[in-house]
Structure 1
Amino acid sequence: MKTCRVPWWSKHNMFRKKHVLSIGFILVLGALAVFSFKQTGPAQARLESSRDRTIHGRVISKYGPVENARVRVAGTETYALTDKQGRFELPTGQFTGEKLWVTAGKEGWFNNALAANPSGPMKDIFLYPIYLNDHPQYRFISPKTCARCHVKLTRYWDQSKMAHTTSNPKVLDMYYGTDALKRKNVAPGYKLDNPDSGGNCVTCHAPSVAASSPQIKDLKTALWSARTEWDGISCDFCHKIRKVLADKTRPSGRAPILERQTPVKGSSILVFGPYDDVVVPPMAASYSPVMDQGLFCSVCHSHSKKLANSKTWDPGKVYTASEWKGFGLQDNTYLPIQSTYQEWKQWQDQLPPDDANKGKKCQDCHMSWRKKMLPYDNYVVDGQAREMWGTYRSPKNIRPHHFDGGTEIQLKTALSMEIEGKITGNRLNINVFITNTNGGHWVPTGETMRSVMLLLKAVDSNQKPLKMIKGSVLPKWAGTGKIEKGNYAGRPGAMFARVLEDDNGNLNVPFWRATTIAADTRVRPKTTVTLEYVFALDDPEDEPTVEARLIYRPVIKTLAKKKNWVAEDILITSSMW
């Protein structure tokens, strides 16, 4: 049988063909792999698609498109602003579900909302303007009405001093010249010095009555007036403020512009607030940015006095040129009594844009959460109202209405203190550093009866007091008498306060008697006060100790004694050397 032999060159050629085919097959597989890698699978395609989802639409009114309206999914932090044509595009990739509640709000307009699909076009959101038609005869609503839905918020508020400014016993004692035992003719008292004048206390201590019945000036008349809805500053009063404007006729130099309206039909309550996404039947809500600004607080947390008979005083003896300018007073015929707002604003204006404290405002500290409030809330309404209309929010976007100020919690976070010492021969040198670490205003601030004291106690190893040979001592109004009862006059230390003085040289007088400011040693924001003391040592080899205490006193000792008030000191911090 004849066999056919394949030539050697032919075998080699076949091997080359197989090799080429193998390489080609591998390249094809590689190409397919690369192609497959670039293609998204169904799950990844859905993920990328959801990330890119947006809702787009318009905000309009009967006057045409509404520009710069804030549009968001209710309760979220991200919002979009409408353009000149009222158009917006809102990212919705993070949401799941069939429908979203899309809201729109703008200052001067009622908030509104529509349900929308998670992506694509939606129907126009229609906004209605708030017509400026304030009704002075409006009857402010009792906080009890607000408490039906806002249970926790009103509970916080009711425990604050803000809720009871008209009935505050100390305020009434200072106004009428009484004491805690209800005895009359216990000076000082505004009505004792000015029997024919009602003053302007109701402007801030009974603001709803001052707005509704401006003829009422007397505090007790305001307290028992039929136009009074509460014994202090109520929910409805603050939430009727749509704007704050300058007004030189008021003690603070600023006035709240109210919009008091009652609906023709139904029971909706017109309210202004910091939310642009509140759209619920009980309230006709309107977004008001001033509600979340320091300017809102300036209506009452500021007070200046025009001196009588064009009398002047010398601010340069107490304040730097920039501090005096920051008070914003017309000239030196005006006396700054309370300047909390100006202190904060001056501090903010001086901060560079990249400072971490830039933009920090009153509400951030005085309407913030406390550990004792845990667990923090995610709703501003409770009970059945939450079931029907509640909007889930981050706690950082909810302001608990406790208006905390001058409390142990606030004070301990506001001021810090350090102490250092060195023995040189028979001398003990002590330096104390007091820093306003977190106060956005001067500390203490507000009412001038408040003070902060540094109290030093230096003793040798046998607990014998050391003689101070250099340094300041506490003034007479720190209290004379037994130290166990909080009387520290003449002891090593320092006082931080704004001290009002009258024409007779009397210190710590009430504002209506004041004609000048004797001193203002309060601690400015983010500044450190350094105090130096030197004590004599009998034995240079001894081991002395120094205790420094920083104490907040809500009422000057001499005044508290006159008025029989219970006003407990608060220990801010202490340090040993």
Structure 2
Amino acid sequence: MRAIVCLWAVWAVASPTVAQVRGRVLSVDGTPLAGATVTLRATETRTRSDMDGAFVLEAPAGEAVVVGAARGYFNGSRVVIAPADEVELRLDAVPTEDEPHALASASSCGGCHTTQASEWARSAMRHAGTNAWVHDVYDGSGTEGGEGGFVYTRDSIHREASPSSECAACHEPLRWAVEPFASLSHLDDASPSLTEGVTCTICHQMVSVDLSRPNAPGLFPGVVRFARPADGSPVMFGRLGDVDYVSPGAMRAAYLPTIGSEVCATCHQDANDPDHDHDFDEANSVVSEPTFLEWLASDYANPESSSFATCADCHMRTTLEPRACNISLPYERPEGQVRSHDIRGTTAEYLENALTLTLDAEFRDGALHADVTLTNDLTGHHVPTGVTVRNVILLVEAFANDARLAQTEGPVLDALAGEGDPAEGYFGGLPGKLYAKRNHGAAGPGTPPVFFSEAVGISADNRLAAGASDHTTYRFALPSSDAAVEVRARVIYRRAWRALVDAKGWTEDGHGRPLADLSGPDFGHLMESATRRLSFVATDGGVDAGPREELDAGPPPDAGTTPSGGGCGCHTSHGGPTTLAWITLFAVARRRTRNAG
């Protein structure tokens, strides 16, 4: 009994007593704020206020800092001694003015947020304005061969009615924030509006996005609003809701839980405006960037789903950083609360963790059959997504003793995979399938795809939606004699149509990195691959397979599993007209560690 009492005493000393903090969240004029978030600062302990603004928050007994946050208000905190009752958290409203004065550059943020500024400086966001491909398509000035192929300012049917084409709305937003409808600055322009691309204040001072007009591009007037008080006082939005630090003249934290999704919609969802009436959601508008609405229609956008994840949850990785700034504060944050600002998208890590590929092969009915399934089980939007030149190629090939077997049935890659020598990455005509969204112009469906600005319709869209699978089947001719047969399936990501790459003479991507689309053996980024090896033994003209070694393969593995056995075998009854063959099946799969991002 004494031992039990002693153990209880030790536990009581080691374990902090849980107490309750009760109170209300109010505006400064005393109006109850329902649905406000109340957080024990720098923890995952939080609750929400009820219709009367009342809340109950559990906290360790003793001193605690409780922070209230509500959309449209600055965060407000109180130091309390828990347990505590009748705690009032009064929140100041964020000013509603959106005076068109210039937003601060990243240099004003980097002094206190050095790590985040350094991460952002490496990101595609920072380089949105200096993306050479964007300048090549807009005015042909991005690269030496940029005037090849389509150039908007020269070739577009809309170049006079809409000379800017709204490019700068996303690629030079600092300029658009004060000068709507401005054209994209020249690539040689060294001003921060171009060189900083999508900078800190673009995301962290955006107060609202009108989602009833989701297809308006970028910082379109009347759709996107910033918190820009006339007196220039700073407002900085975040989604943690427990930042109570105030730096007079530099920043004051406010709550915006949708900063990880709605803010992204401004540039990752848009359509064209062929009649130039500034209505991008009418019937004759053709969607270009579809990513936000793809996510919104998926299970990933459902807060009640186990798959729920915002754009930031996937594309801004968690870190082990205990602080989000250089200021010496009396607390540290738990692992994972501070996210990286090296915002990633079509990097190797993400491309190789987007889809799942399965491949099965067998000899049947006088032919070699290959069955391929491609599943979008790891991505919260379509694959591929983004601008319509993006495409994914499924390439399926069969070889006997390293000689290519002829395809007899099944889909083939069309001209958009490239017309020319397969050894140079021109895969048109080979077995497989190309996944993409294809816009057509006034010439109608069936013609080569056009840029979104010229589109009047969508000829086809067979991209893989979140959670969707696509199955294709291929037949190949049998070898003429005994052979080691190999079936290969590859999933390859390309940043642009091969014809466009050739027309522009691109050898690097828009950020100056070597272009994988031109590099063998895959001529694109290899997302997934799978290989099946079979032994074909034919006697009496392929009528009798003869004896074979018994092997047990177990269940067919997918592209990401190590095979559990050595193979499997089968044969048909003797004497029939069907070609007989014994199969020794081995699975060789390329795999990577899965990580949803």
Return the TM-score normalized by structure 1.
0.79
Q: Distance in 2 between matches of 1:418 and 1:73?
A: 47
Matched, 1:477 2:426: no
Q: Which runs of 5+ in 2 are unaligned?
A: 508-514, 517-523, 533-597
Q: Is the 8 A contact 1:242 1:272 kept in 2?
A: yes
- Match for residue 429 of structure 1? 369
More moved, 228-237 vs 487-496 = 228-237
TM-superposed deviation, 1:534: 0.4
Q: Distance in 2 between matches of 1:330 and 1:309?
A: 11
- Residue type matched to 2:154 in 1? L
Q: Distance in 2 between matches of 1:123 and 1:355?
A: 34
- Match for residue 306 of structure 2? 356
Q: Distance in 2 between matches of 1:538 and 1:85?
A: 78
Q: Distance in 2 between matches of 1:116 and 1:565?
A: 61
1:243-275 CA distance string (max 9 Å, x none): 2113478337992221113657xxx63111112
- Match for residue 66 of structure 1? 32
Q: Is the 8 A contact 1:425 1:540 kept in 2?
A: no
SS at match of 1:116: strand
Structure having the higher Rg:
1
Q: Distance in 2 between matches of 1:204 and 1:176?
A: 16
- Match for residue 418 of structure 1? 358
- Match for residue 153 of structure 2? 191
- Match for residue 93 of structure 2? 129
Q: Is the 8 A contact 1:340 1:446 kept in 2?
A: yes
Q: Distance in 2 between matches of 1:529 and 1:156?
A: 37
- Match for residue 12 of structure 1? none
Name the % identity: 26
Going from structure 1 to structure 2, the CA distance change for 1:115 and 1:236 (only over 3 Å counts) comes to: same
How large is the Cα RMSD of the aligned pairs?
3.2
- Match for residue 258 of structure 2? 290
TM-superposed deviation, 1:571: 0.6
More moved, 540-549 vs 405-414 = 540-549
- Match for residue 462 of structure 2? 521
TM-superposed deviation, 1:208: 2.3
- Residue type matched to 1:368 in 2? R
Q: Distance in 2 between matches of 1:199 and 1:309?
A: 10
SS at match of 2:426: coil
TM-superposed deviation, 1:516: 2.2
- Match for residue 376 of structure 1? 320
SS at match of 1:531: strand
- Residue type matched to 1:74 in 2? R
1:445 to 362, 385, 397: 385
1:378-399 CA distance string (max 9 Å, x none): 22123xx1xx237422333222
Q: Which runs of 5+ in 1 are unaligned?
A: 1-32, 311-327, 370-374
- Match for residue 348 of structure 2? 408
- Residue type matched to 1:285 in 2? A
SS at match of 1:250: coil
Q: Is the 8 A contact 1:430 1:532 kept in 2?
A: yes
Going from structure 1 to structure 2, the CA distance change for 1:73 and 1:262 (only over 3 Å counts) comes to: farther
- Residue type matched to 1:551 in 2? I
More moved, 80-89 vs 111-120 = 80-89
1:532 to 458, 469, 473: 473
1:406-453 CA distance string (max 9 Å, x none): 121111111111111110253101111111111111100011111111
- Residue type matched to 1:356 in 2? S
Q: Distance in 2 between matches of 1:139 and 1:56?
A: 42
TM-superposed deviation, 1:298: 1.4
Going from structure 1 to structure 2, the CA distance change for 1:419 and 1:102 (only over 3 Å counts) comes to: same
More moved, 127-136 vs 463-472 = 127-136
Q: Distance in 2 between matches of 1:500 and 1:534?
A: 31
TM-superposed deviation, 1:59: 3.9
1:73-121 CA distance string (max 9 Å, x none): 211112233456654332113x6xx532222222122112232224334
Q: Is the 8 A contact 1:157 1:163 kept in 2?
A: yes
- Residue type matched to 1:563 in 2? K
Q: Is the 8 A contact 1:471 1:533 kept in 2?
A: yes
Q: Distance in 1 between matches of 2:52 and 2:453?
A: 55
Q: Distance in 2 between matches of 1:249 and 1:344?
A: 14
Q: Is the 8 A contact 1:442 1:525 kept in 2?
A: yes
TM-superposed deviation, 1:226: 6.8
- Match for residue 450 of structure 2? 509
Q: Distance in 2 between matches of 1:133 and 1:309?
A: 28
- Match for residue 578 of structure 2? none
Q: Is the 8 A contact 1:441 1:524 kept in 2?
A: yes
Matched, 1:101 2:65: yes
1:141 to 85, 90, 104: 104
Q: Distance in 2 between matches of 1:41 and 1:426?
A: 76
- Match for residue 204 of structure 1? 170
2:119 to 156, 162, 180: 156
1:180 to 143, 150, 155: 143
TM-superposed deviation, 1:368: 1.9
- Match for residue 293 of structure 2? 342
Going from structure 1 to structure 2, the CA distance change for 1:145 and 1:468 (only over 3 Å counts) comes to: same
More moved, 202-211 vs 242-251 = 242-251
- Match for residue 54 of structure 1? 20
Q: Is the 8 A contact 1:65 1:84 kept in 2?
A: no
More moved, 219-228 vs 204-213 = 219-228
Matched, 1:576 2:531: yes
1:15-52 CA distance string (max 9 Å, x none): xxxxxxxxxxxxxxxxxx99x9999976677789x534
In the TM superposition, what are the counterparts of 1:113-128 in structure 2 within 5 Å?
113-121=77-85, 124-128=88-92
Q: Is the 8 A contact 1:70 1:104 kept in 2?
A: yes
Going from structure 1 to structure 2, the CA distance change for 1:58 and 1:430 (only over 3 Å counts) comes to: closer
TM-superposed deviation, 1:142: 1.3
Matched, 1:304 2:274: no
TM-superposed deviation, 1:153: 1.5
SS at match of 1:220: coil
Matched, 1:494 2:433: yes
- Residue type matched to 2:289 in 1? Q
Q: Distance in 2 between matches of 1:238 and 1:150?
A: 15
- Residue type matched to 2:95 in 1? Y
Q: Distance in 2 between matches of 1:338 and 1:153?
A: 27
- Match for residue 237 of structure 1? 202
Q: Is the 8 A contact 1:166 1:223 kept in 2?
A: no
TM-superposed deviation, 1:212: 0.8
Q: Is the 8 A contact 1:134 1:258 kept in 2?
A: yes
TM-superposed deviation, 1:186: 2.5
Matched, 1:398 2:338: yes
Going from structure 1 to structure 2, the CA distance change for 1:381 and 1:502 (only over 3 Å counts) comes to: same
TM-superposed deviation, 1:231: 3.1
Going from structure 1 to structure 2, the CA distance change for 1:59 and 1:516 (only over 3 Å counts) comes to: closer
SS at match of 1:442: coil
- Match for residue 396 of structure 2? 456
Matched, 1:271 2:221: no
1:359-394 CA distance string (max 9 Å, x none): 32222211124xxxxx72222123xx1xx2374223
Q: Distance in 2 between matches of 1:449 and 1:148?
A: 39
Q: Distance in 2 between matches of 1:242 and 1:452?
A: 36
1:446-499 CA distance string (max 9 Å, x none): 111111111122111x22211111012222222233333322121111111111
- Residue type matched to 2:143 in 1? A
Going from structure 1 to structure 2, the CA distance change for 1:540 and 1:307 (only over 3 Å counts) comes to: farther
TM-superposed deviation, 1:302: 1.0
Q: Is the 8 A contact 1:426 1:538 kept in 2?
A: no
TM-superposed deviation, 1:546: 0.9
Q: Is the 8 A contact 1:467 1:536 kept in 2?
A: yes
Q: Distance in 2 between matches of 1:166 and 1:236?
A: 15
